Amino acid sequence: MCGIQGAGKSTFVRERFYDTHVRVSRDLLRTAHREARFLRTCVETRQPFVVDKVNATRADRAAYLTPALEAGYRALAVWLDVRPRDAIARNAARSGRARVPVPAILGTYKRLEIPSFEEGFAELWRVEVAEDGFVVAPLRGGIAASAEPRPCSQPTPSGVVGGGG
């Protein structure tokens, strides 16, 4: 997953991958150490997983993408393309620790790098949030429009599988 805070990443993950993938999330695991160990366990046990995090830059994504690709996962990026004002409005409805300071959202937006094939992704997806749900489409072509995104699918000996979702 990739997108600014308040974009709808966690909601998308719950709706599309709850039954098929383990969720790797710093919000859930609370520390970088726990997150790294959890990711390592997913990779070692060949568990399908989805990284529910901002992942604003290529470097941010590499921390998850590199071990997944080295283990033979077929990885893809799902970018939630949301205007900052919409994310800020959704964020304002949050309470407690879930609410992110507005300058953090704007700062993430300024440094956001749209995912690319050059990073090693097999597929790139763009998601917009509509009033009645999510609109999913290929990002920069090259993907069958009728397909559905499936983050980091379980690897096979050949290294590429379809995966659930």
HSE-up of 94 (CA within 13 Å, CB side)? 16
Q: Which residue has the tokens 């799902």?
A: 78
Helices first, then strands: H and E counts in the chain: 6, 5
CATH architecture for residues 9-138: 3-Layer(aba) Sandwich (3.40)
Q: Distance between CA 34 and CA 133 in Å, rounded? A: 32
Q: Where are the domains of the chain?
A: 9-138
Which tens digit of pLDDT belongs to each residue from 9-44?
A: 999 999 999 999 999 998 888 899 999 999 999 999
Q: Distance between CA 141 and CA 144 in Å, rounded? A: 8
Which tens digit of pLDDT belongs to each residue from 58-99?
A: 999 999 999 999 999 999 999 999 999 999 999 999 999 889
Ramachandran sector of residue 8 (left: φ over 0; alpha: ψ -120 to 50; beta: rest): left
